[in-house]
Structure 1
Amino acid sequence: MSGVDSVRYATTLGTNALIEHKGPRMGMLVTAGYEATVPLSRARGYGEGLDNLGQQDMPNAQRPDPLILPHMIRGVRERVDFEGRLVMPLDENDVRLQIRELVDRGAQIIVVALVNSVVSPAHEQRIEEIILEEYPSHLLGAIPVILSHQVAGRKGEYVRATSAIVDGYLHSTMYHALSALEQNLRSHSYEKPMLVIHNSGGMAQLNSTDALQTIHSGPVSGIGASEHLALQAMLGNVVATDMGGTSYDIGIVVEGGIKHYDFNPVIDRWLVSVPMVHLVTLGAGGGSIASYDRMYKTVQCGPESAGSDPGPACYDRGGMRATVTDADLLLGYLDPENYAGGSIPLNPRRSKSVIEDTLCDELDCSVIDAALLIREKVDDNMANGLFTELRARGYDPEDFTMLAYGGNGPLHCCGIAKNLNIDRILAPPFSSVFSAVGAGNMHQLHIHEQSLYMVLYDSNSRHIFDDYERFNAIVAELRERGKRDLLRQGVAPEDIRHSLELDMRYGNQLVQTTAVIPQHEVHGPADVLAIISQFSNDYGKRFGEGSQAPEAGIRINTIRVASYVHHQTVQFEDIKPLPKGERQAPPAPSSRRNCYFVGHQGSRDTPVWNRADVKPGVEIPGPAIIASEVTTFLVDPGWTFVAAKQGASWFLRNE
């Protein structure tokens, strides 16, 4: 390991701990009078993390099991108003009493979430000092203390409290597991700090990582790789799609460098307040279980999955239910002898048996017709998810290039894209491990933000913002916090860069638009008007020119600074497809198979190539199969496969 340049780790430890509900007994200190905020969960706790049907089924709604028990939440006498002014000083004797009661009740970690602590954190910081005074490490061992203003910098008492609770719940699991991994690396001669991938799209050393930041870090790495590839190859707008065995992850990367974040994502069943790269996960993958939908008398696919153990029925490991992979096998797309490089032999008889038992009698159809219905249904589900995601954010799918990666992405991409009228698909280099490529391309990054109410243009008084010192002071403080984070990790000060983003809206609109602002200070009306102009341009690109509404007023809701340092990245050569006149004919196929395609009658004689034999510049018209050890490229009729450099593969339709 001494020869390795960098170890970067994305983990599902936190996700698993939440699913298994394994965590420490926690205590919580809140402002007196707010003890019921978390248990009440804004009266919406039953619905967070459920699908639309589950959220609408109120009679059968069940709240998630609490991570912190109500009797372990204690109020302390203090109060700060919304502008940070002191209303009631902290009663330190009361704090000490509540801490002792929590420890006596078995608290192994203490979360502190006081009202308005994001604008004045002094009381939370003092409570931490008191805990260390009462229970120093030499007396009782270190009791982790989680301060809510350090976990989430935005207003909203409930979501900030749940963010701190989830972070505290995962703290011990993540700390011990990651520390053990770092020690193992040390014992194998890797002396550099290990870097942990964050769901914000960056990474940091273990000493600068919150447990909450590791959730969904793996799929987010794929979106980071998509952004890097789109920028280097000048692809414009791309939609990243990662199809594996159990899920279909969707991310959006638009031209211009504006990232889409979820600022109140739902993690498991909990609404939290952390900036996480926007990611939509659908229950659609190779292992998605196909069943008969008695209401609509058709096939239903997912969200339930066979997983990897026992897996699809064709794995011959005990799976008893039909899956998407079983359908793909019977339709001729997969080679039963060389699936996964020959490491997993497939049994077509098992696939045929489970599809007959599950669907054929109910649908009164043949096995192949049932398999085609499965294929069509799962592709429709993924296309609908993509369409909803893009349209809800003001984008036209036809303006995007689809990136198809993951083990099953290149196998299903043509059917999905056809439903959306997308005519360009790129299966990127290293498509089966593209998320790992993204982790290798990430930069050390920390995001700090502050919620506020800052009016840039008051439509009633026609007044333009002029409190320049306030704006500059907030930005300077956020930059300094990010700088301290990176300096703590040994980064040279001259290598640190900053990016300023403002969440803005017209009047009281619910929709916020993020504007990336190149100038980080304002000193006069011209600078304010430049910010307004940037916001207007971004809003018009997203929702259509002429949709701007400055007459309603313009305000800033959040100021966000991303502090980062660039690392060496994987450089992609020109991977765009050659012009049509410069492409080459393919070599002789290695074999041929009879395959069935949605919308086409009967089987089609389909040539099969090995991906290693298809050199850059080769063009293969569909139908065709290009097989590799890690994925299968399926070229539907009407599509053309074009090999590019570095293992990139294009699917082009109706050239």
Structure 2
Amino acid sequence: MKRLGVDVGGTFTDLILINEDEGNSYVHKVPSTPQDPSEGVIKGVYEISKIASTKLNEIDQFFHGTTVATNIVLEHNGANVGMITTDGFRDILHIARHKRPYNFSLYQDLPWQSYPLVKRRNRLTVSERITSDGDVLTPLDEVKTREQIKKLKEAKVDAIAVCFLFSFKNSTHENRVKEIIEEEYPDVFLSISNEILPQYREYERFSTVALNAFVGPKTSNYIKKLKTNLKDAGVKSNLHLMQSNGGIATSEMAAEKPINLLLSGPVAGLIGGIKAAKNSGFENVITLDIGGTSADIGVAPSGEMRMRHLLDTQIGQYNAMIPMVDIDTIGAGGGSIAYVDKGGIFRVGPQSAGADPGPACYDRGGELPTSTDANVLLGRLHPDSKLAGSMPLKPELSEWAYKKHIAEELNMDVRDAAAGALKIMTHNMVNAIEMNSVRKGYDPREFTLVATGGAGPLFACDIAEELNIPYVVIPPYPGITAAMGLLSTDITYEKVTTLWGSLSSPDTAEIKSKFKGLEDEAITTLKNDGFDLEDIVLKRVCDCRYEGQGYELRVDAPEGEIDDNWMNEVINRFHEAHEREYASQFPDQEVLAINIRVIGVGIINSEDTESNYGNMQSVFKGAKKSHEVYFWLNDELQKVKTPIYEKNSLPVDTELNGPAIIQQKDSTTVIPPYCKSTLDKFGNIVIDMKEKISLKTEKFIAASKEKEVK
């Protein structure tokens, strides 16, 4: 079987093709094409197929991670959306939750008001009302509904969102409006709340459905265009896309519900990082994926992805109440721009030079100093190396940029300026990791740092040292780990409905009925994707809370018969989850299940492909060359002669003592002094940080004692 994964990033489009029959892997990177991401994808597919000597019609599986939907939200360039809603509820999207990004600022931008998903003139109402019990209080006014739809058609909206009160209890009115829209305006993109998010919480549901309509037309057109271009190129396999919940969806399902594609790429990077760590024998994982424009940080205790609370799932401060893996993103990447602000403070990011023009050393017209330029100036990126295997570097342009914009401004040496920029970048990423780990009850010293992305291995050891993380793992192809993660997951759909029932004194028949309905729906969806029943796994989840609480916790529910023992098990799991999250539990309180979920998983068989590094070379021949690299030693920036190795020339089990630099097509790994590395059979570089951390600790203790003496 031949499997292809393609991840589109802000700077590069990453590809990996695995030929499982031969046990070989092929990787490739091409510059991204932001104006039309599909152009970069098609170009990369053609080129990697030539590298792998594979015909496009021989590709059996095609998996894709994309930032198209996310970028639409962040750049506020989505569809012209219309909305049909219940009389009296026209302004829910404007009012929101009265939350303010800055509590004490009288002058602040509220994105949901400054950049509304649906303009007020396109938010139209009709007479209808469903009660909280699901009964029809006011019948739908179909005549008024047709009039309002015709108004939206005259306004030339690209998409229509339909959101009625309590439609998650009774969807009759919404379904009828959908039928009328299909009669009056058949070409418009539809986003119907009972199909997108059939659960309670009025504002969040309205926002999510409107957001789906906002990203829908452009995202679905992109998917359809890419699918057509792939077919024209000769690719016969189906196109599958990564979702924000860590599962894969078919192109048809992704085009219908594109909101599930938010954070598509970063999630794939986390999955790939977890797999790499498990291959090397590590369970607790912190992943750091540093690309050209941003750094994505994920924490996976015991190798399990954490899901965000549904009220914390936001994109650009718009609520998107969809299942989303807990990943944080900060503006810190290879293209992050270093500058001196108006107050004279040295800063790096979040502004980025991006793919075009890119860092100064790319010689594409970029004149501002970036993180990549700093690594070039400090020797961490060799002047003769070529990024992504083809892009030459010009160190003199990096030096000019730092001299003009930083060194002269702050009256400092050019290399001190470059080192300062990397220190600031490292500090920003350390803070972000602490936010995701320490502040959520996890000790980084008990974790392994998996560094991915084109720039991750450049910073990994410095960050691990700051956080006292004992081991760093660099995956076999760190620059394309997100693409690798695409090949390491299964087809996944999450079906949800609101229950709002007690587990302490349950209506067992209702709970059974609702779970059965969700399970049947999940099985039907997966069968439509071509899965046999034996390849389908169903998982149950309950969103639980104590009576009187305002928010729920997500709890995995057991399989088997839903009876008293089942209820007690869910209750006990909720108590444990509450204790873990809030350091308290209340066993005497009644437990409610607000929403219930069924996760349908279509299993895709994927075997770990061990690296063939070293198979062509049984003897370690040493470094290809050496170069002077700057490291912080004894609190001073010192120049150290450092050997440079080509990774594909290293046999398995090669041990290297720092300082050392390992180059490969998609990334460069920096191993500082006092660090030891080993190349394992999976192609992972495992770096032992304990000696370096020990020296830092001894130095700190000595300095403290000296201070006490004084």
Give deviations 1:13-39, integer Å, cap 9, x for gaps. 323434554444332110100011113
The alignment status of 1:170 with 2:220, answered yes or no, reads no
Distance verdict in 2 for CA 1:202–1:70, change over 3 Å: same
Match for residue 329 of structure 1 among 348, 360, 376: 376
Distance verdict in 2 for CA 1:15–1:589, change over 3 Å: same
Give deviations 1:96-140, integer Å, cap 9, x for gaps. 23222322333343210011112221111111122234x2xxxx6
Helix, strand or coil at the partner of 1:498: strand
Structure 2 residue identity aligned to 1:532 = I
How far, CA to CA, are the matches of 1:454 and 1:398 in structure 2? 41
Alignment check: 8 A CA contact 2:476 2:611 kept: no
Structure 1 residue identity aligned to 2:140 = L
The alignment status of 1:560 with 2:608, answered yes or no, reads no
Helix, strand or coil at the partner of 2:58: coil
Helix, strand or coil at the partner of 1:261: coil
The alignment status of 1:529 with 2:568, answered yes or no, reads yes
Match for residue 273 of structure 1 among 303, 321, 346: 321
Distance verdict in 2 for CA 1:557–1:396, change over 3 Å: farther
Helix, strand or coil at the partner of 2:340: strand
Match of 2:395 in 1: 348
Distance verdict in 2 for CA 1:593–1:315, change over 3 Å: same
Tell which deviates more after alignment, 348-357 or 183-192.
183-192
How far, CA to CA, are the matches of 1:585 and 1:182 in structure 2? 46
How far, CA to CA, are the matches of 1:226 and 1:521 in structure 2? 36
Match of 1:144 in 2: 189
The alignment status of 1:13 with 2:68, answered yes or no, reads yes
How far, CA to CA, are the matches of 1:105 and 1:149 in structure 2? 25
How far, CA to CA, are the matches of 2:390 and 2:520 in structure 1? 52
Give deviations 1:279-304, integer Å, cap 9, x for gaps. 21110011111122564x54211101
Structure 1 residue identity aligned to 2:134 = G
Match of 1:598 in 2: 632
How far, CA to CA, are the matches of 1:341 and 1:30 in structure 2? 50
How far, CA to CA, are the matches of 1:542 and 1:572 in structure 2? 37
Structure 2 residue identity aligned to 1:237 = N
Q: What is the 5 A alignment of 1:46-85?
A: 47=101, 57-61=105-109, 63=111, 64-85=114-135
Distance verdict in 2 for CA 1:535–1:40, change over 3 Å: closer
Q: What is the 5 A alignment of 1:165-314?
A: 165-209=210-254, 210-230=257-277, 234-255=281-302, 257=304, 259-261=306-308, 263-264=310-311, 265-293=313-341, 295=343, 298-314=345-361
Match of 2:95 in 1: 40
How far, CA to CA, are the matches of 2:673 and 2:61 in structure 1? 44
Alignment check: 8 A CA contact 1:226 1:253 kept: no
How far, CA to CA, are the matches of 1:574 and 1:184 in structure 2? 32
How far, CA to CA, are the matches of 1:298 and 1:103 in structure 2? 52
How far, CA to CA, are the matches of 2:330 and 2:305 in structure 1? 24
How far, CA to CA, are the matches of 2:545 and 2:337 in structure 1? 43
How far, CA to CA, are the matches of 1:175 and 1:336 in structure 2? 42
Tell which deviates more after alignment, 240-249 or 624-633.
624-633
TM-score normalised by L of structure 1: 0.89
Match of 2:465 in 1: 418
Distance verdict in 2 for CA 1:180–1:396, change over 3 Å: same
Helix, strand or coil at the partner of 1:415: helix
Alignment check: 8 A CA contact 1:440 1:570 kept: no
- Kindly tell me the number of residue pairs found equivalent between the two proteins: 624
Match of 1:483 in 2: 523
Alignment check: 8 A CA contact 2:471 2:688 kept: yes
Give deviations 1:594-640, integer Å, cap 9, x for gaps. 22223542222222222122222122122211112221110122321
Alignment check: 8 A CA contact 1:110 1:146 kept: yes
Match of 2:697 in 1: none
Structure 2 residue identity aligned to 1:76 = V
Distance verdict in 2 for CA 1:193–1:67, change over 3 Å: same
Match of 1:629 in 2: 665
Match of 1:502 in 2: 542
Give deviations 1:19-78, integer Å, cap 9, x for gaps. 55444433211010001111333344x74xxxxxx7764414254322322111111111
The alignment status of 1:93 with 2:140, answered yes or no, reads no
How far, CA to CA, are the matches of 1:40 and 1:92 in structure 2? 27
Post-superposition offset of 1:523: 1.3
Helix, strand or coil at the partner of 2:417: helix
Alignment check: 8 A CA contact 1:585 1:619 kept: no
The alignment status of 1:25 with 2:59, answered yes or no, reads no
Q: What is the 5 A alignment of 1:112-127?
A: 112-127=162-177
Alignment check: 8 A CA contact 2:383 2:395 kept: yes
Distance verdict in 2 for CA 1:183–1:354, change over 3 Å: closer
How far, CA to CA, are the matches of 1:8 and 1:56 in structure 2? 46
Helix, strand or coil at the partner of 2:525: helix
The alignment status of 1:467 with 2:507, answered yes or no, reads yes
Alignment check: 8 A CA contact 2:273 2:452 kept: no
Distance verdict in 2 for CA 1:554–1:229, change over 3 Å: farther
Structure 2 residue identity aligned to 1:157 = E
Tell which deviates more after alignment, 181-190 or 471-480.
181-190
Give deviations 1:532-570, integer Å, cap 9, x for gaps. 2233344555666xx333244433333221101110224
Distance verdict in 2 for CA 1:145–1:293, change over 3 Å: closer
Give deviations 1:209-266, integer Å, cap 9, x for gaps. 2111222212211122234445555521211210011100012222274632352422
Structure 1 residue identity aligned to 2:302 = E
Identity across matched positions, percent: 29
Structure 1 residue identity aligned to 2:216 = H
Structure 2 residue identity aligned to 1:392 = R
How far, CA to CA, are the matches of 1:640 and 1:227 in structure 2? 22
Distance verdict in 2 for CA 1:418–1:562, change over 3 Å: same
Alignment check: 8 A CA contact 1:233 1:572 kept: no
How far, CA to CA, are the matches of 1:321 and 1:258 in structure 2? 37
Post-superposition offset of 1:308: 1.8
How far, CA to CA, are the matches of 1:466 and 1:553 in structure 2? 11
How far, CA to CA, are the matches of 1:193 and 1:633 in structure 2? 35
Helix, strand or coil at the partner of 1:61: coil
Alignment check: 8 A CA contact 1:198 1:217 kept: yes
Distance verdict in 2 for CA 1:68–1:114, change over 3 Å: same
Structure 2 residue identity aligned to 1:640 = K
- Tell me how large the CA RMSD over aligned residues is: 2.6
Tell which deviates more after alignment, 500-509 or 280-289.
500-509
How far, CA to CA, are the matches of 1:382 and 1:95 in structure 2? 51
Post-superposition offset of 1:312: 1.3
Alignment check: 8 A CA contact 1:376 1:598 kept: no
Alignment check: 8 A CA contact 2:539 2:559 kept: no
Unaligned runs of 5+ residues in structure 2 are: 1-55, 613-617, 692-710
Match for residue 640 of structure 1 among 656, 664, 676: 676
Structure 2 residue identity aligned to 1:654 = K
Distance verdict in 2 for CA 1:573–1:505, change over 3 Å: farther
Alignment check: 8 A CA contact 2:268 2:486 kept: yes
Structure 1 residue identity aligned to 2:150 = R
How far, CA to CA, are the matches of 1:180 and 1:504 in structure 2? 41
Distance verdict in 2 for CA 1:345–1:266, change over 3 Å: same
Structure 2 residue identity aligned to 1:598 = W
Alignment check: 8 A CA contact 1:327 1:371 kept: yes
Post-superposition offset of 1:452: 4.1
Alignment check: 8 A CA contact 1:623 1:635 kept: yes
Tell which deviates more after alignment, 264-273 or 399-408.
264-273
Alignment check: 8 A CA contact 2:309 2:553 kept: no
Distance verdict in 2 for CA 1:511–1:649, change over 3 Å: farther
Post-superposition offset of 1:321: 1.5
How far, CA to CA, are the matches of 1:257 and 1:15 in structure 2? 24
TM-score normalised by L of structure 2: 0.82
Match of 1:459 in 2: none
